[in-house]
């Protein structure tokens, strides 16, 4: 095995371990011992003992299983001998098996979040919808929201989910300022106005209530979010960070044409 591959695998393991430190995903039910799924699970846990495994499914790649764990996707052979870390291309179709797998998984998981838990800015009759993991303090999130009317004018509804970049708790174990700010927004009487004012740098009135902010942050980790804004098309494909209204329209149209 080449030194380069070892470095790539070690980097992947370290990245996955970092995701584990933040993620709170529920571990899926272990399969029956000695099945290929059990072997795949054991192989991954030997590499990353604290990995939170969300999904193990047969892969289009013969003899391999697709594993989504702690915000990462890898392929592991049913006998546990081989691990593929990286993009897998179907040369006959010219498409990415990895992108397709992530898209399907993200679409399913995002569909579980009710609209009532999102902050929505939409035209009267939207043609397209994007889901955006956002932080109220990040510069490009603010730029994107400054253009929300132009985005809506393109027929695109924007549904925001909370993803405080500093996490839910800091190194001191205390709730982070950004998390508390986003909770105050989600608990505001007028979420949309509080959200817009926060994007302009105005602190929301402190508030607390039963809210989805932590759950949405944890979901982002499971889906592989590493920064904000993270913009997803309806088919679950990550189409951007920041996109201009014209770029966003082009991206959602492309994914709509693909049957998303």
* Ordered DSSP codes for 107-150: HHHHTTS-GGGSEEE--SS-SEEEEEEE-TT-HHHHHHHHTHHH
Is residue 235 classed exposed, middle or buried when 0-12, 13-18 and 19+ CB atoms within 10 A define those classes?
Answer: middle
138 has catalytic annotation: yes
Question: The dihedral of CA 97, 103, 104, 109: what is its sign?
Answer: positive
Residues 165, 187, 218, 222: which is the catalytic one? 165
Query: Can you tell me the distance from the alpha carbon of 159 to that of 232, in angstroms, rounded to the nearest whole number?
Result: 10
Residue with tokens 């500093």: 166
**CA-based Rg of the chain, rounded to a whole angstrom?**
20
To the query of whether residue 141 is one of the catalytic residues in this protein, the response is yes
Which is the catalytic residue, given 106, 138, 142, 187? 138
Strands (E), 70-222: 72-77, 83-84, 89-90, 95-96, 119-121, 128-134, 156-162
How far is Cα 63 from Cα 40, in angstroms, rounded to an integer? 11
d(CA 132, CA 27): 26
Task: Determine the straight-line distance between the first and last CA of the chain, rounded to whole angstroms.
Answer: 39
The token pair that represents 9 in the structure block: 């695998």
Q: Select which of 54, 106, 118, 141 is catalytic.
A: 141
List Cα–Cα distances, 100 to 149, 168, 238, in angstroms: 31, 30, 11
- Catalytic positions: 135, 138, 141, 165
């Amino acid at each position: 095995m080449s030194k380069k591959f070892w470095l790539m695998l070690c980097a992947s393991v370290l990245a996955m371990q970092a995701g584990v430190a933040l993620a709170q995903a529920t571990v899926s039910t272990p399969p029956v011992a000695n099945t290929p799924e059990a072997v795949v699970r054991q192989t991954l846990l030997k590499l990353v003992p604290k990995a939170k495994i969300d999904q193990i499914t047969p892969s289009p790649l013969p003899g391999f299983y697709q594993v989504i764990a702690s915000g990462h996707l890898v392929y592991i052979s049913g006998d546990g001998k081989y691990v593929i870390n990286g993009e897998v291309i179907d040369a006959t179709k010219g498409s990415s098996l990895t992108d397709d797998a992530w898209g399907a998984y993200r679409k399913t998981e995002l569909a579980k979040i009710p609209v009532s838990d999102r902050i929505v800015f939409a035209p009267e009759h939207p043609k397209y919808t994007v889901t955006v993991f956002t932080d109220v303090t990040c510069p490009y999130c603010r730029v994107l929201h400054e253009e929300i009317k132009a985005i809506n004018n393109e027929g695109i509804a924007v549904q925001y989910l909370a993803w405080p970049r500093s996490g839910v708790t800091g190194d001191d174990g205390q709730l982070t300022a950004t998390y508390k700010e986003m909770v105050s927004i989600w608990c505001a009487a007028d979420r949309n106005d509080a959200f817009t004012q926060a994007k302009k740098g105005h602190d929301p009135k402190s508030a607390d209530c039963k809210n989805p902010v932590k759950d949405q942050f944890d979901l982002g980790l499971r889906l592989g979010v590493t920064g904000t804004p993270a913009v997803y098309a309806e088919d679950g494909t990550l189409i951007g960070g920041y996109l201009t209204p014209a770029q966003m329209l082009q991206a959602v149209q492309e994914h709509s044409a693909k049957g998303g």
